[in-house]
Structure 1
Amino acid sequence: MEAAVKTVLAWVNNLMFSVRIGEVASQLGGHVILVSSNEEIIEKLEIHPSLVILDLTAVSGGWQETVAKAKETGVPVLAYGPHVNVDARRAAEEAGCDEVVANSKLTLELPNLLAKYLTNAQASY
């Protein structure tokens, strides 16, 4: 039986985070596609990714609509940002993100967070 292809779309500014997300996804049998715009995420939703990750310091105007589009297609969204940026984190929760975590929690719990979304992922054919 062929293994499911588990794809994560990640809009991440921080190189260390993007490398770490890629490493952990790979360990879980998945892979990461780095994106850098709302349009790019919306375009790639057609491949039915297992998860969208948003760095709240990277996103640009209109990202809340992108979250809504992902949710419409059944794709969970994980957002993260500095713990001091309460407004951005609140906006992410209000936009419908499945989880909103501080950078420190993302760093500590990345394997568990990704496993939650990638373990039950279906192959996208």
Structure 2
Amino acid sequence: MEKAVKTVLAWVSNLMFSVRIGEVANALGGHVILVSSSEEIVDKLEIHPSLLILDLTAVTGDWQQTVARAKETGVPVLAYGPHVNVEAREAAEAAGCDEVVANSKLSLDLPKLLTKYLTNAPASH
């Protein structure tokens, strides 16, 4: 039987984070598709990703609508940003993100966070 690949969409501006997210996802049997706009995310929701990761310093435009669209299709959303940017964290929570963490927590807990979403994810076909 072919192993199903679990997909993570990531809108990430920091190259170090994007590389790390890719490495951890690969170790868990998944892969990451980097995106750079709300339109790109909406286009890719049809592949039913296991998780959408948003870097709160990268998002632009009507990203809150994108979170709502992801939630409508059953895709969990993990957002992260600088712990000092309380306004962005509150906006992410108000937009409906499943989890909002500081950059430091993402760095420390990335394997645990991705495991939670990729292990519970249904295998895509």
TM-score, normalised to structure 1, is 0.98
CA distance in 2, matches of 1:63, 1:13: 14
Q: Determine if contact 1:11/1:55 at 8 Å carries over to the other structure.
A: yes
Following superposition, the deviation at residue 120 of structure 1 comes to 1.9
Is the partner of 2:108 in helix, strand or coil? helix
Q: Aligned partners of 1:115 and 1:69: how far apart in 2?
A: 23
- Aligned counterpart, 2:100: 100
What amino acid is the match of 1:3? K
1:74-116, Cα deviation, whole Å (9 max, x unpaired): 0000000000000000000000000000000000000000000
| Corresponding residue for residue 46 of structure 2 | 46
Q: TM-score, normalised to structure 2's length?
A: 0.98
TM-superposed CA distance for 1:123, in Å, is: 2.4
Between the two proteins, the alignment pairs up a number of residues equal to: 125
1:111 partner letter: P
Gaps of 5+ in 2: none
- Alpha-carbon distance between aligned partners in 1 of 2:4 and 2:68, rounded to the nearest angstrom: 25
- How many angstroms apart in 1 are the aligned matches of 2:21 and 2:81? 15
Counterpart for residue 34 of structure 2:
34
* Letter in structure 2 aligned against 1:67: V
Taking the aligned partners of 1:118 and 1:22, their CA distance within structure 2 comes to 13
Residue type of the alignment partner of 2:38: N
- Find the aligned partners of 1:19 and 1:96 in 2 and give their Cα distance: 26
Q: Which structure 1 segments of 5+ residues have no match?
A: none
Shift of 1:43: 0.3
Distance, in Å, in 2 between the alignment partners of 1:17 and 1:123 is: 25
Aligned to 1:87, the other structure's residue is in SS state helix
Indicate the residue corresponding to 2:64 in structure 1.
64
CA RMSD of aligned residues (A): 0.7
Residue 124 of structure 1 and its aligned partner are, at CA, apart by: 2.0
Tell me if the contact between 1:4 and 1:122 (Cα under 8 Å) persists in the aligned partners: no
Letter in 1 for 2:15: L
- Once residues 38 and 112 of structure 1 are traced to their aligned partners in structure 2, the CA distance between those partners, rounded to angstroms, is 26
